[in-house]
Amino acid sequence: MTEQRPVGRPEADALPLDFFAQIVGGALQGICCADLDGNTTYVNPAAGALLGRPRRDLLGVPIHTAVHHQQPGGQTHPKEHCPLHLAMRDGVARRAKSDVFWRADGTSVPVEYVSTPLRRGTAVIGTVLAFQDIGERQRDIETRLQAIGARAAKAEAAAAASGRLYAEAQERLRTRDEFLSLAAHELRTPVTALRGFAQLALRRLRRGIFDPEREQEILEEIAGQTTHLNNLVTQLLEVSRLDIGSLVISREPMDVVAVATAATQAVPTSAAHVLTVRAPASLEASLDAARIQQVLVSLITSAMRFSPDGGAIDVEVTSPLPNTGQITVRDHGPGLPQEQRDRLFDRSPQAQNREHAPGLGLELYLSRQITELHGGTLTVDAPPGGGTRFTLLFPLRAEADAVEPASGGQRRPSSAAARVTPSAPQGAAGRAG
């Protein structure tokens, strides 16, 4: 059956008036009513709480003047543009998803609201304003945007890093190819010479030619080229060990002065150069003696190359600071330009002047790496009076010399002790390369 309503009884009268007041009063949204003059006629508890003022302070006052007189940026908000009044003027509801209302203390509250015309029949008699605080929602959006921005920045940084890594990888590949090309050329030179002298010796043998003096010259050339080839291969091997981190040092007590003196004696003599050593009677240190001698031979040989007209090569051993040793190697030649000094220890084939440094040009690169494995530094400068000066600084004793107990009661070497100890250099000429 269809429910029958008494004829002439308004449908709105089906519920008591205070029932609607209870519904509106218990709403979580702020709800205000205003008359045609814009004066507030009703304010529910949620509206008073959201606007931070007692409800009685809002009743009878213009709602626009009380809460909507300024725009979000602080500019004056004209009443004729206020959506609350526009809804009464043209009878069309207005909705704002993001706006601000103002509290009595001058602070703003971000709101979303709907302004709906209040009608009696077809006549507009006021407006109903329903609003809610969206501050938490905005903070959540802002947090999400910040997280998105952080992720975007991280992705951008990762992309930039990838670009740098790619560029670095390309540069390494280019340098590697250039280096391999140089290495192939330098290795081919002694191999060609060896083949030539070996073929010469075979031809002389087949023809029954034997001249002891000439045969000795041929064998000496073969021995020299073999030594040169061996040292080129050794340099390549040591660079490979550096790349994989297996070229490490083995420290032992040693006399730095004795090693410096041995290095000067290991360098091939030259009538044009005079080697002098200035040093105390002794200087005790914990170093890899073979490696330090290898470095000094490279420095002395380089000094001789950089002074092609001869002159003094000064080697000086001192201890300028506690627990610090220093060896300087200086020539009195024309010196090197700053640009060349800056690249002297680089691995790149262009790092050294090819006229002054035949071979792979790895001696000074390896020398600096070996020095740094000792915890020291190797630098080059132009001293007063001309020439080129190498300065090798190193700790006399290092904490890494100590050994740490390992599991099972055994003792294991520290990180500075050699995991792989390459053989000592086999001849000054080969070390100088």
pLDDT digits (tens, 9 = 90+) for 285-326: 999 998 899 899 989 999 999 999 999 999 999 999 999 999
- Give the angle 185-190-191 at the CA atoms, nearest 5°: 85
Question: CA-CA distance, 125 to 11, in Å (whole number)?
Answer: 20
What is the pLDDT, as a whole number, of residue 359? Answer: 52
Contact between 297 and 266 (Cβ < 8 Å): yes
Q: Which fold has domain 144-244?
A: Helix Hairpins (1.10.287)
DSSP state of 121: T
E strands in 207-362: 252-255, 273-278, 284-287, 311-321, 324-330
The residues with which 202 forms a beta bridge, in sequence order, are none
pLDDT-derived band at 421 (thresholds 50, 70, 90) equals very low
Its CATH architecture, for the domain 252-432, is 2-Layer Sandwich (3.30)
CA distances from 85 to 56, 91, 113, 122, 296 (A): 21, 10, 13, 18, 93
The mean per-residue pLDDT over the stretch 222-248 comes to 74
Question: CA-CA distance, 133 to 253, in Å (whole number)?
Answer: 78
* Angle (deg, nearest 10), helices 256-266 and 289-305: 50
Contact between 227 and 427 (Cβ < 8 Å): yes
Question: CA-CA distance, 24 to 10, in Å (whole number)?
Answer: 21
Question: CA-CA distance, 279 to 290, in Å (whole number)?
Answer: 19
Residue 200 backbone phi and psi in degrees, to 5: -65, -45
Contact between 336 and 307 (Cβ < 8 Å): no
Contact between 95 and 114 (Cβ < 8 Å): yes
- Say yes or no: do domains 13-133 and 144-244 share a fold: no
Which residues touch 234 (CB under 8 Å, ≥6 apart)?
Answer: 425, 426, 430
Which of 105-119, 241-255, 335-349, 365-379 has the weakest average pLDDT?
Answer: 241-255
The residues with which 237 forms a beta bridge, in sequence order, are none
CA distances from 376 to 251, 316, 367, 369, 370 (A): 13, 17, 11, 9, 9
pLDDT in tens, 163-197: 888 888 888 777 667 666 666 766 777 788 888 88
* Angle (deg, nearest 10), helices 363-373 and 212-244: 50
Over 80: is that where the pLDDT of 35 sits?
yes
Which of 33-42, 101-110, 242-251, 273-282 has the weakest average pLDDT?
Answer: 242-251
Its CATH architecture, for the domain 13-133, is 2-Layer Sandwich (3.30)
- List the chain domain ranges: 13-133, 144-244, 252-432
Neighbouring CB atoms inside 10 A of 20's CB total: 11
Which residues touch 257 (CB under 8 Å, ≥6 apart)?
Answer: 277, 279, 280, 281, 282, 283, 317
What is the pLDDT, as a whole number, of residue 24? Answer: 76
What is the pLDDT, as a whole number, of residue 114? Answer: 92
Q: pTM score > 0.75 for this model? A: no
